[in-house]
Structure 1
Amino acid sequence: MVELGYTLSSEEHPPNDLVEHATRAEDAGFDFLSISDHFHPWTSQQGNSPFVWSTLGGVAHATDDIPVGIGVTCPIMRYHPTIVAQATATVAAMLDGRFVFGVGTGELLNEHVVGEHWPEHAVRLEMLEESVEIIRKLWTGDQVSHHGEHYSVQNARLFTLPEETPPILVSAYGKRSAQTAADIGDGFWSVGPQDTVDTWEDAGGDGPRYTQLQVCYAESEDEAVETAYEWWPNSALPGELSAQLPTPVHFEQACQMVEKADIAESSIVTSPDPEAHVESIQTAVDAGYDHVYVHQIGPDQEACFEFYENEVFPAVENADFG
């Protein structure tokens, strides 16, 4: 059976609100949470980008049993792998067996802030692989020194460790990254149904498979399209722009190409009919995913909580996701 999660959108909400959304999602009956790790929002309209590791501390204390995944962190530039290892070990200890760690090769939007050269994707994959190796070594609690192609670690040891090591799920969008994800990860993380999961499985990938669905629930579809156009036009940008633009201003300039019709025709679910949401979940399940989490676009999160609790979840229970 598919598990349904809820996105804590760091780009759109301040940290205390994200903690409240986490508790509301747990009360509404969602199976897990995903939270984003950004330094910048995509556009100034979104208006937020709190430090995810601080927010996760609040979420750990405010929730009871719901698993929490970070989707995803880029542990190759803005953070050194040793710092990521310490941050994840602490959060995993606080969440006590319900933390899932997603990693990926990142976007220039977030990583360029430290002033380092932005490598091509093949190099970033190499950096990700080495970073994950370092993180796993440090999670053992042993003293670690490492002198690799991209990173050096000297006499580092973590003293605060979780009882259970969290799984590392690796994000991928193409054949080469899917193969790397299969080699180094404990599961797969993506955004939107795509055939990359098949490549990952063919390469020997095993474990849970996470994907995100973009939705905007409102009383009418026109209202939902308007909200999505105002708050999340970046979802309609083509190709690899999202990985290559450096600032929210650049995204705003690029989003001038996006029309409301593009949002209406995109993969964002804007219908207030619960069956449209069930169909979108079915599409993800058919693509091979067993964890599907929902990103409600815009400021009105409560309307989506009520809609899923009262209408979508009952429809999902009656659906056959075989």
Structure 2
Amino acid sequence: MTPRLSLRAVTRRFGAVAALDAVSLDVAPGEFLALLGGSGSGKSTLLRVVAGFEAPDSGTVALDGADLAGVPPHRRPVNMMFQSYALFPHLSVAANIGYGLRREGRPRGEIADRVAQAVAMLRLDGLESRRPDRLSGGQRQRVALARALVKRPRLLLLDEPLGALDANLRERTGFELRAIQRESGAAFVMVTHDQAEALALADRVAVMDRGRLLQVAPPRELYERPATRFVANFLGAANILPGTRTADGALDCPEAACTLRAAAPVPPGTLAAALRPERIRIAPATGDNTAAGTIEEAAFRGESSLLLVRLPGGALIRVSHAEEDGAPPPRGTAVRLAWDAEAVVPLAE
């Protein structure tokens, strides 16, 4: 199957800074891909390069196998929804949605039909005559999305689409966005800095840092098997324990005063391992994949408590203690920690 979007070794520099550093990426037809990273990671630059607002210094961008080099933004079968929504304040909801179709010179009847379809899909019925200043944040977000989808783009680019919404509305609108993507059949590429948002909505997540693409994988795989120290830390704040590989494929970790043994021998070059807080339990165990420690802090978080446990070698690790296991031990308590071999994720860098 030809990828809907294909980037090959795309580089974009601003002076001495490489905003994009030889990025290669494919997006399948109908896929929802999230670009995840902090400020300056290059995710918004990548979106602008695909949209045609920035020209790459090298590399290729292709849509359905056709090279987009030299194709201006308005001639690309791509739409972009900006974080600010960029609605026209003097136009009604219906006029905002149909604006792009009018610019294309579409017949009035076709515009009316397609606007009505977009209104129904985005559940904007009854709001067609309102102006943006009389809409809630969630309604404005849906109008901007309707305006982008009404042109039936093969690819929709979304720059922090939920960033202007409060926490409760973000969750609800996020699920609506996912449902709309499935219904429209368009490929979506969404930029976000919110890891929970990316993991909840996307088919795959691409983690970026300093212009480089570090790892692309489905959300569960990315969370459970991060490839690098950065990815492990960025997604869920995993415990990172540095160590030295032993002759039998374990990892000796002086800072934790313990030996980590993964489900398979750790590969040569392994410098550390990641342990998720929820994979660690308080248990009277000894041997590999166990450690002694003292609880320094505890914070109640509803369904669980977050414990900070100091290990003999100096490491301070996070442990998630489920409420169903009873109240956590108080501060200052000496505990034994244990985890399964499957929880140990080797990291090469």
Same fold (TM over 0.5): no
Which structure has more helix as a fraction of its residues?
1
TM-score normalized by the length of structure 1? 0.29
Comparing both chains, which one has the higher relative contact order based on Cα–Cα distances under 8 Å and sequence gaps of 6 or more?
1
Which structure has more strand as a fraction of its residues?
2
Larger radius of gyration: 2
